[in-house]
Structure 1
Amino acid sequence: MKKLFFAKKGSIVAGLVMLSLLSACGNEDDTASEETTTAWDDIQEEGSLTVATSGTLFPTSYREEGSDELTGFEVEVVRAIGERLELDIEFTELGFDEMLTSVQTGQVDLAANDIEITEDREENFIFSTPFKYSYGTAIVRSEDLSGIETLEDLEGKKAAGASTSVYMETAREYGAEEVVYDNATNETYLRDVAIGRTDVILNDYYLQTLAIAAFPELDITIHPDLKYSPSEVGVVMNKDNEELAENVNRVIEEMLEDGTIAEISAEFFNGADATEKVDIEE
């Protein structure tokens, strides 16, 4: 159409008439071309969800000894979500901090790795309907509880964990020295406490109890008196992916109602139902 502006003077009127006719005929197509596809449309077209998880967080996301198959509480919850949405699940294994960045930049569709719902995170992400409720505990050395009686005693202690986790935020709040690992295994975290390289691991009750049980040879225990920060966990999605969140929430709520997630919880949390809300005195 730019050629009209370079046409000879005698042809301008005819060109404008033709342009008018073409515009009238093209209104419907132009409107259609302006319709944008959503992330949910793309996901449905591709037939799959890309999911960030660590692969090293027992029993949420891990591999059983001698197996290459990824499993765990949230891994299986996500697989059940995919089945109900008729989508394949493609897992990408990342460190905790990388997961949130990848969701934010659209490299993955969601993240599932025992990520607690907080007000700060809700400003930047969409969380699904919660499907796991818990509270914070502390792993310490058995012989002296790492010299910790209350959260105030964390001051000056070496606390191990992911730098952006809510538990590390608690450690910093009480003056602990943070020791950060890059997607390390549970055994590394636990052994370092046992040998005194670090003093404490603040984390979720269910994860802590099972981690302790997995390594009975280590001289560590869950602190008998520290219970704090009731928590809710859901999968994490990009702030703009509202339609994806609606569909994920729909099937999560179905699975909470029919007991599917409770059954998965029992499998990975030694019979416990982590979908039940907890009430603790802080």
Structure 2
Amino acid sequence: MFKSIAAATFLSAALSVGLSGAALAQDNQTLRVGMSGGYFPFTFVKQDVLQGFEVDVMNAVGEETGFDIAFETMSFSGLVGALDAGRIDTIANQITITPEREAKFTFTQPYVYDGAQVVVRDGNDEIAGVEDLRGRTVAVNLGSNFEQLLREQPFAEEIEIKTYEANIAQDTALGRVDAFVMDRVSSAQLIQESPLPLALAGKPFSEIRNALPFRNDEAGIALRDKIDAALTTLRENGTLAEISQKWFGTDITSPE
């Protein structure tokens, strides 16, 4: 999402057509996991290697369940459609649980707890939080839940929201938009790692719970249950916390 990533290296070989995606995952012991490969530090490419928090979590799930994990990268805005069409079995890309998504998919337990964060160009003292977005142009990633979170604000009609598949951080740093909104963890990591002049504006304004979605059919629910049981084990034995500490220096996998 911060830059365009060539996905060909990480696309797994196509599986035979005609069976449901969830059934394929169970019959072949392969779990096809969709992600963008462009959302640092959750899923990104460095030196031609797909890596990040989400990659480590899913590999740990694979070790716990015995599934082979096949990562398939594509644009973030196409992930939900790919899941719905059965081209992948789940999405590991900071997918927020929302009522709209729960009506369509079945989710595992949350494995990330975060908050929506406003980010501005460093030195912009006029925006100190979400309340100051009135009359401003604000960027969000296309297909993310942050547009909806902004539209739920009581002053939403006063915000001009732009949906992006381009580099929202760069456009904010260059002054093409006044701010962007994404999750606080990614925002803080981006500011730390990027040379762009950016700063957090105030505190998170909405709690976010991220989980793994599956198709809401018999096979999808059965697959969800297996992955959910693995997440429970990884939480109890400290693996989730360990992976979080590796990437963030703190535990974002617990609500505490």
TM-score of the superposed pair, with normalisation by structure 2: 0.84
Structure 2 alignment gaps of length 5 or more: 1-18
Structure 2 residue 118 is matched with structure 1 residue 138: yes
Q: Which residue in the other structure is 2:27 paired with?
A: 45
CA RMSD of aligned residues (A): 1.8
Deviation string 1:117-147 (CA, Å, 9 cap, x unpaired) is 11221111111111111112111122124x3
Q: Which residue in the other structure is 1:179 paired with?
A: 162
Q: Which residue in the other structure is 1:82 paired with?
A: 62
Matches within 5 A, 1:142-221: 142-145=122-125, 147-173=126-152, 174=156, 175-182=158-165, 184=166, 188-215=167-194, 217-221=195-199
Structure number with larger C-alpha Rg: 1
Q: CA deviation at 1:150?
A: 4.1
Q: CA deviation at 1:149?
A: 3.5
Structure 2 residue 36 is matched with structure 1 residue 54: yes
SS of equivalent residue, structure 1 residue 113: coil
Structure 2 residue 95 is matched with structure 1 residue 112: no
SS of equivalent residue, structure 2 residue 97: coil
Q: Which residue in the other structure is 2:5 paired with?
A: none
Q: Which residue in the other structure is 2:215 paired with?
A: 238
Moved more, 71-80 or 38-47: 38-47
Asked if 1 retains the 8 angstrom alpha-carbon contact of 2:139 and 2:180, the reply is yes
Identity of aligned residues (%): 30
The residue type equivalent to 2:205 in the other structure is: Y
> Which of the two has greater strand per residue?
2
Q: Which residue in the other structure is 2:231 paired with?
A: 252
Q: CA deviation at 1:152?
A: 3.3
The residue type equivalent to 1:157 in the other structure is: R
Q: Which residue in the other structure is 1:100 paired with?
A: 80
Asked if 2 retains the 8 angstrom alpha-carbon contact of 1:160 and 1:189, the reply is yes
Deviation string 1:4-61 (CA, Å, 9 cap, x unpaired) is xxxxxxxxxxxxxxxxxxxxxxxxxxxxxxxxx8755432322211111000000110
Q: CA deviation at 1:273?
A: 0.4
Distance 2:97 2:151 in 1: 19
User: Structure 1 stretches (4+) deviating beyond 3 angstroms?
Assistant: 37-41
The residue type equivalent to 2:174 in the other structure is: I
Matches within 5 A, 1:256-271: 256-269=235-248, 271=249
Distance 1:38 1:169 in 2: 31
Identify the match of residue 226 of structure 1 among 199, 203, 227.
Answer: 203
Distance 2:60 2:32 in 1: 14
Distance 2:76 2:190 in 1: 18
Asked if 2 retains the 8 angstrom alpha-carbon contact of 1:39 and 1:244, the reply is no
Asked if 2 retains the 8 angstrom alpha-carbon contact of 1:129 and 1:249, the reply is yes
SS of equivalent residue, structure 2 residue 86: coil
Q: How many aligned residue pairs are there? A: 232
